[in-house]
């Protein structure tokens, strides 16, 4: 089975499949803690990744409100939606552009061990 992973390294940030998935789960669940649970990560780890993303970009990617009587929650900002869309498009284009070469590399691999 082959999988394609892409990580983008910038001077002050790294964006990869894990952070993109976390953003997608935040969008779906409206919660950083629920997004972390969906990925099998601790609340603390999910928050740390969100803080990393928010600090790395000129505008925050995730906005959150504390819990309480009105409830808390989180959502992607317009910038967060844009970063996620751009990353997924870069992944798609990269996968398509390298499909032939990836297929050739796959034929060159030794057989998988049982």
3-state helix, strand, coil split of the chain in percent (to 5) is: 55, 10, 35
pTM over 0.85: yes
Look-up of token digits 């601790």: 42
Asked if the structure places residue 30 within a domain, the reply is yes
Asked if the structure places residue 114 within a domain, the reply is no
- Total domain count for the chain? 1
Asked if the structure places residue 62 within a domain, the reply is yes
Asked if the structure places residue 49 within a domain, the reply is yes
Asked if the structure places residue 99 within a domain, the reply is yes
Classify burial at 26, counting beta carbons within 10 Å of its beta carbon; exposed 0-12, middle 13-18, buried 19 or more.
buried
Higher-scoring residue by pLDDT: 66, 68: 66
Asked if the structure places residue 3 within a domain, the reply is no
Closest to 5 (Cα-Cα) out of 89, 79, 94: 94
Query: For residue 97, what are the domain limits?
Result: 8-108
Tokens (6 digits) for 13: 């940030």
> Domain with 53 in it: what CATH number?
1.10.10.10
pLDDT tens digit string along 11-65? Answer: 989 999 999 999 999 999 999 999 999 999 999 999 999 999 999 999 999 998 8
């Amino acid at each position: 089975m082959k999988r394609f992973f892409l990580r983008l390294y910038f001077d002050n940030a790294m964006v990869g499949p894990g952070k993109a998935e976390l953003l997608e789960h935040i969008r779906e669940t409206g919660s950083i803690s629920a997004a972390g649970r969906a990925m099998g990560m601790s609340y603390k780890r999910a928050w740390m990744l969100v803080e990393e993303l928010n600090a790395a970009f000129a505008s925050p990617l995730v906005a959150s409100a504390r819990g309480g009587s009105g409830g808390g929650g989180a959502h992607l900002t317009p910038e967060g939606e844009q970063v996620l869309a751009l990353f997924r498009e870069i992944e798609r284009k990269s996968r398509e552009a390298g499909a032939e070469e990836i297929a050739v590399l796959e034929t060159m691999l030794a057989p998988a061990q049982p």
